[in-house]
Amino acid sequence: MPDIKDLEPLIGRWHQVVDAPRHLEAKVEGTMTLEWLREEKVILQRSIAENPMFPEGVVLIMAAKEDAEGDFTAHYFDSRAVARVLHMSFRDGVWKWWRYARDPDDFDQRFEGTLSADGETIVSSCYLVEDGGWIHDFDVTYTRI
């Protein structure tokens, strides 16, 4: 079973560039931080984008229970008062999270990011389900600050 310490390569402060042509013509910059809470059993992730179209968000990441899907569970909250539970994994430098909609007005969503060999960049894409099929939503590139 993976250990929360396996996420150590993600810990730090990152500059983010969101490329979301379905939503905006211009790219949106911001920051993301991942830091240990005391005792190093939970990670706090915080994201802030310079465009208010993208909500400010916080995520609490912890090891998943044995019967859970994914290696980690992430509890997401944002400035729109949206709350979601995400399944997460980080293996061989590939960071993934996904969720399934519980409400018919909601949507399934997934993220996949690859950490560069030097640990300084994460190149990622986000997808969602629309009309019954997965579509590309946007890309985010993170560069360690």
Summary mean pLDDT of the chain: 93
pLDDT value at 113 more than 80: yes
By residue range, what is the domain housing residue 85?
4-144
Residues 17-59 have pLDDT tens digits of 999 888 888 899 999 999 999 889 999 999 999 988 889 999 9
Residue 102 banded pLDDT, cuts 50, 70, 90 = confident
pLDDT at 66 over 80: no
Quote the DSSP letter at residue 10: G
Both tokens assigned to 124? 């990622």
How far is it, in rounded angstroms, from Cα 45 to Cα 57?
8
Q: Flag whether pLDDT at 89 surpasses 80.
A: yes
Domain count, the chain: 1
d(Cα 99, Cα 36) in Å, to the nearest integer?
Answer: 23
* Whole-angstrom distance, CA of residue 107 vs CA of residue 22: 16
Alpha-carbon torsion, ordered 41, 90, 130, 16, to 10 deg:
80
In this prediction, residue 93 has a pLDDT band, given cuts at 50, 70 and 90, of: very high
- How many whole angstroms separate alpha carbon 48 and alpha carbon 69? 28
pLDDT reported for residue 58: 98
Question: CATH no. for residue 129?
Answer: 2.40.128.20
pLDDT attached to residue 24:
81
Helix/strand/coil percent split, the chain, to 5: 5, 55, 35
